[in-house]
Amino acid sequence: MRTRQYYAGFAVFLVIFCLTFTAKGQFIRTDWEIHDVSQIIELVNNHGSLHQVPISGYPRLVNAEFPPGSNTEHHYAIGPIVAGLSEDRQDTMVTTIQIAQWNTGDEFAGYSEARWDSVYKVNRGDTIDIGDPEDPYYPEYTPHSDQDLVTRYNDYNRAALNVADHDPMFLDVYQRSWAWASAPMNQFHIFNLDFIFTEKEIKDAWFGVFFNPSVGYYPAGGEDTDDYVTYYPDHKMIIGQDADGGPDGNTETMMGVKILPPRNQANNNFDWTFRWGWEDLQFTRDGSRYEAFSNGEIQTNQVTEGNTISFHSFGPINSLGKGDTVSWRYATVYGYSEQEVLEKSRLIDRLAPDFKVPSSPPSPNVTVETSNKQVTLKWDRSAEKYDDPQRWDDAEQPFEGYRVYKSTQSVDGPWTLVSISDVKGNVFGHNIGLKHEFKDTGLLNNVEYYYTVTAISKPDTVLGFPSQESSKRVNAVTVTPGTGSREEVGEVAVVPNPYRGDVDYNSMDPPWEKPDPTRDRWLEQDRRVQFINLPGRCTIKIYTLTGKLVETLNHNDPNKGFEDWNLTSNVNQAIASGIYLFTVRNEETGNTQTGKFVIIK
């Protein structure tokens, strides 16, 4: 049985539940943001999980896409679990993220008072007050990494109190996650968790992370029935990966979930538990869940692929009272092999607890100018003013230069380096001198190109850390060169003409046809012809030879002299081969041009 079926059913419950609380004026708002500066596109919500909460409005389907643009998914859900005993040790209490097969519901969620219910994105160079405007819980917050996501949730909100058999521990959870844009830090994210016990006395507490790997090529069906997990006790990490074959093919990448226990206690003060198994871990009561989390068993690694859920946990912390805080971290680590994931794990251990590492400069602000077959990029000098107190070599001017990249495929690349400039007069780089403009000529009109400008730092000579580069994705721009609109009709044409069904327009570079950004497979509705040399405001009508109206296109853009048509009629049917007529009426002057074009499928 597939995990997604459990979550799909639960999604219906969640939507109904949220609508109920909306009617009562007690809506628990779901918020989310994505880490998008590193090589991982990872969603974080204010329910404690790394998962697409169904009502979040997240436009993508892939959880934890690595690398960007690959459509390769790596997990279905990840998030914290906390388990403890009552003061007299007679009752068990467990709080987890949404886990459908455990009937958990929203045991962690945002605040009912509509305060502190957001996920805040703080990029390098930003300073913001986080929380309620009158009472920020992080005033004047500056990011620790190139991109911090900050949120807060608890286990006693109105949603949590309506979960069957849920006995809250009255936990406030502050969560800050860190992501870096440049190697060697750009293949993992660090999640900092502060669990604050606000009311109850808790005994023998255990903490851990739930991990449901779903590693594979998502458009193939998103199957998670042929994954398996391996536990590395020396790293305190579970690695999930895809078995060869199956509907999702052979996946080159994999991911690990690593725990960094509380910083004020040594690793060897804790017992550790690792469990996996679809059938064995379908807990419905806190008693069975607490027993599983706290039994100190390190289960034998999975050797046969299947539908896998897993967790690892540490404890016990014997006594926690009102106002006590337990702070620990977990990391999501990605790579192309187990060896690479383990190398990143060792780097994390080396950099903990402070993760004081050089950072990249902030991304420069980019403006774009387009003209006939030409694009001009210009950027400001803001990146040149940055300071980096986390460097080990105390460089007076850590900024080094700029790189300009171009892609014909998407804002996620693949990227080609087309220009570089750097500071003169030092031992680093090319000593070309700084530039703040790049002009690209000889382009095709009315076709999309993608550009990004990054800022780079000097390497840290004391730490031996490489030059850091700002994210390519943060200020990537989509640019369409062209001539703009015409004053009058008369030269309107259709391209290509004839349109030929035996030509693979999707494989051209740049592609003439391409799928919608939410999918990577070409479909019939992605066909494209283009009406060019249009006036700024006009109406295009397309007819069959017999005079039947096929479609009407309204064009209203003084800066754009073209309009696309996907060869679909006004009743959403793909048109047949044949000769078609068109009229273009200039709505400013009333003049009309007629013409024809050919479709061959």
The 3-state secondary structure of 446-462 reads CCCEEEEEEEEECCECC
225: Cα separation from own chain's centroid: 23
pLDDT at 429 over 60: yes
pLDDT in tens, 259-297: 999 976 544 589 999 999 866 666 667 888 899 899 999
Task: Give the span between the Cα atoms of 568 and 599, in whole angstroms.
Answer: 12
> Domain boundary at 433, 454, 479, which?
479
Question: Domain of 463: which CATH number?
Answer: 2.60.40.10
Coil, strand or helix at 289: helix
Residue 136: the pLDDT is: 86
Domain count, the chain: 3
Coil, strand or helix at 159: helix
387 located within any domain: yes
Determine the average pLDDT of the residues in 359-364. 91
The answer to whether 255 touches 242, Cβ cutoff 8 Å, is no
* Contacts (Cβ under 8 Å, ≥6 apart) of 113: none
Residue 3: the pLDDT is: 38
Task: Give the span between the Cα atoms of 251 and 198, in whole angstroms.
Answer: 44
Determine the average pLDDT of the residues in 160-185. 89
* Contacts (Cβ under 8 Å, ≥6 apart) of 25: none
Task: Give the span between the Cα atoms of 550 and 565, in whole angstroms.
Answer: 11
Give the residue numbers spanning the domain of 557: 493-600
133 and 232 both lie in a single domain: yes
Q: Per residue in 275-296, is it b (16+ CB within 10 Å) or e — as a string?
A: bbebeebebeebeebbebbbee
105 and 40 both lie in a single domain: yes
CA 343-344-350 angle, 5° bins: 95
Query: How many C-beta neighbours within 10 Å does residue 164 have?
Result: 8
359 located within any domain: no
Beta bridge mates, 531? 494, 563
338 located within any domain: yes
Residue 131: the pLDDT is: 84
Task: Give the span between the Cα atoms of 229 and 277, in whole angstroms.
Answer: 10
Beta strands in 288-411 (DSSP E): 310-320, 325-335, 366-371, 374-379, 399-407
471 and 518 both lie in a single domain: no
Determine the average pLDDT of the residues in 191-195. 97
383 and 414 both lie in a single domain: yes
Task: Give the span between the Cα atoms of 551 and 581, in whole angstroms.
Answer: 11
327 and 386 both lie in a single domain: no
Higher pLDDT, 422 or 269: 422
pTM given for the model: 0.74
pLDDT in tens, 542-585: 999 999 999 999 999 998 999 999 999 999 999 999 999 999 99
Residue 583: the pLDDT is: 98
Percent of the chain with pLDDT over 70: 89
The answer to whether 306 touches 225, Cβ cutoff 8 Å, is yes
Residue 5: the pLDDT is: 39
Coil, strand or helix at 228: strand
Determine the average pLDDT of the residues in 381-397. 89
The secondary structure element, H or E, covering residue 338 is helix 338-351
Residue 594: the pLDDT is: 97
Q: Which residue has the tokens 């974080």?
A: 44
358 located within any domain: no
304 and 409 both lie in a single domain: no
Q: Are strands 171-179 and 147-154 parallel, antiparallel or unpaired?
A: antiparallel
The secondary structure element, H or E, covering residue 341 is helix 338-351
Task: Give the span between the Cα atoms of 582 and 598, in whole angstroms.
Answer: 11
55 and 30 both lie in a single domain: yes
Which range, of 114-123, 175-184, 195-204, 421-430, averages the lowest pLDDT?
114-123
Task: Give the span between the Cα atoms of 542 and 554, in whole angstroms.
Answer: 12
Beta bridge mates, 481? none
The average confidence (pLDDT) of the chain is: 88
Question: Domain of 15: which CATH number?
Answer: 2.70.98
- Which sign does the torsion angle of CA 496, 502, 506, 507 carry? negative
Determine the average pLDDT of the residues in 527-537. 96
Determine the average pLDDT of the residues in 415-421. 97
136 and 201 both lie in a single domain: yes
Residue 27: the pLDDT is: 57
Q: Is 443 left (phi over 0), alpha (psi -120 to 50) or beta?
A: beta
Q: Which residue has the tokens 């030929």?
A: 500
Task: Give the span between the Cα atoms of 587 and 265, in whole angstroms.
Answer: 74
Q: Are strands 325-335 and 188-197 parallel, antiparallel or unpaired?
A: antiparallel
CA 500-506-507 angle, 5° bins: 105
CA 264-268-271 angle, 5° bins: 105
586 located within any domain: yes
486 located within any domain: no
467 and 504 both lie in a single domain: no
The 3-state secondary structure of 448-503 reads CEEEEEEEEECCECCCCECCCECCCCCCCEEECCCCCCECCCCCCEEECCCEECCC
pLDDT in tens, 328-353: 999 999 999 999 999 999 999 999 99
> Domain boundary at 479, 506, 531, which?
479
Question: Domain of 559: which CATH number?
Answer: 2.60.40.4070
Cα dihedral: 433, 439, 442, 445 (round 10): 160
20 and 64 both lie in a single domain: yes
Beta bridge mates, 327? 194
Spatial CA neighbour of 495 closest among 505, 486, 485, 487? 505
235 and 264 both lie in a single domain: yes
340 located within any domain: yes
Higher pLDDT, 236 or 280: 236
> Domain boundary at 328, 351, 374, which?
351
pLDDT in tens, 240-266: 999 887 777 788 899 999 999 997 654
- The secondary structure of 420-451 as a DSSP string is EEE-SSSSSS---B---EEEEESPPTT--EEE
- The secondary structure of 7-69 as a DSSP string is HHHHHHHHHHHHHHHHHTT------EEEE-SSS-BEEEETTS-SS--TTS------SSBSSTT
Determine the average pLDDT of the residues in 170-179. 96
Percent of the chain with pLDDT over 90: 64
pLDDT at 56 over 90: no
Tokens of 277: 């198994």
pLDDT in tens, 438-475: 999 999 999 999 999 999 999 999 888 899 999 998 89
Determine the average pLDDT of the residues in 492-497. 97
Residue 522: the pLDDT is: 86
The amino acid sitting at 42 is: E
435 and 410 both lie in a single domain: yes
Determine the average pLDDT of the residues in 384-392. 89
303: Cα separation from own chain's centroid: 30
Spatial CA neighbour of 159 closest among 207, 117, 197? 117
Q: Per residue in 300-320, is it b (16+ CB within 10 Å) or e — as a string?
A: eebeebebbbbbbbbbbbeeb
pLDDT at 23 over 50: no
595 located within any domain: yes
